[in-house]
Every structure is written in structure tokens, then in C-alpha cells.
Amino acid sequence: MKTYNKTNFFKHTFCEFKQVDDFQFPENTNYKSKSESMYFYADEGVYRKSNHWGRVANCRWKLFTKDTYKNQQTVIGFAKWTDFYPINSKEKIFFIDVDFEEKTAKIQPKKELLNHYLFTFSEAQNKIKQITHLFKDDKWAKYFDLELNDIRLKIISAFINSDKTLQEIKQSFK
């Protein structure tokens, strides 16, 4: 697995930053981007002060906040160097975490030895789009004999635990 530091963390990476309230940026900050984001490099990771998160240039950086975050709010986040993962890699290092009650799905990096089916970032992104459609639309479910929530659970669970296409999985439940 690739090792990240201040020279490469901003090149096609996925990361989950955590909000930090008690950090003051020194006057001679390590880097300030064209979009006015500020970065401070520490031995263990990077602090980022910005008003935009999510898709950042060629990266996908999430921000976990204590409160509801709205874009254009300036927030400081911190991430360890070990929290960065390559998104343009052919390595299968991401899994899909589904919350059936909230009807959401999100990409998660494999951080430890968990028993999840793994995908590349682009594979996981494509599956997330299809899962979102399965949650939002229910016309597809009329072709099955099970209740909507039951068939959703079965199809989505099978979909995130295999390399099969959604069509192949749907066919297996008919």
C-alpha cells in the first residue's frame, strides 16, 4: 500500500478528515491553495482549513463534523497520513457500507481485517449510483414476489458482496 505524506496526499486520494476546533494555524502556514484552502503539515498528518469538502480537485475528501456541515462554512479538519487511500488504483481496497433504515450507501476504505467484499474506488462509485437508484425508485420491484424492503435487502446485500452486475443479481431472485 502506498505511503502518503505532504508531497503526495493531494494526488487522486480518498480521505476522511475529522473536524478540529482547537487548532490555530501558524502565520507561516505550509501551503495555501488557489481556492484559499490552508494546509499545515504535521509529522502525523495534515490540517486543512477550507470552506469546501467532498470533491476537491482530483480527490474525494469527506469531512466528519460535530454539527451539520454546509458547503461554504470554513472548517478545520485533520487527517493522519495513514487515512489517505488511492482512488485511481486498481487495488481493491474499498467496501460499501449500506444503512437500510436511512436508505444510504457510502464508500469506506478497508482499514483493518474485516470480512467485506472489496472494490476499486471507481467500481464502488458505480455500485453506489445503482444502490441509490434502488432506494429512490421502486418500479423495478414490482417484478418480484417479495415485499419491497425484503427484496431491496436481498438484492443490495448480494450486490455489495460480489462482482456480479445488478442485472445478474436481479435475475437470480426471479
Q: How far apart are CA 82 and CA 63, in angstroms?
A: 16
- Residue written as cell 457510502? 106
Nearest residue to 14 via CA among 71, 130, 95, 117 = 95
Would you report the helix, strand and coil content of the chain in percent, each value rounded to 5? 25, 30, 45
Segment 91-101 mean pLDDT: 94
What are 109-150's pLDDT values in tens digits? 987 767 889 999 999 999 999 999 999 999 999 889 999 999
Which amino acid, residue 173? F
Instruction: Name the residue ranges covered by the structural domains of the chain.
Output: 13-86, 94-172
Mean pLDDT, all residues of the chain: 91
Contacts of 60 (CB under 8 A, 6+ apart): 13, 14, 15, 54, 87, 121
What are 8-36's pLDDT values in tens digits? 999 999 999 999 988 988 887 678 888 88
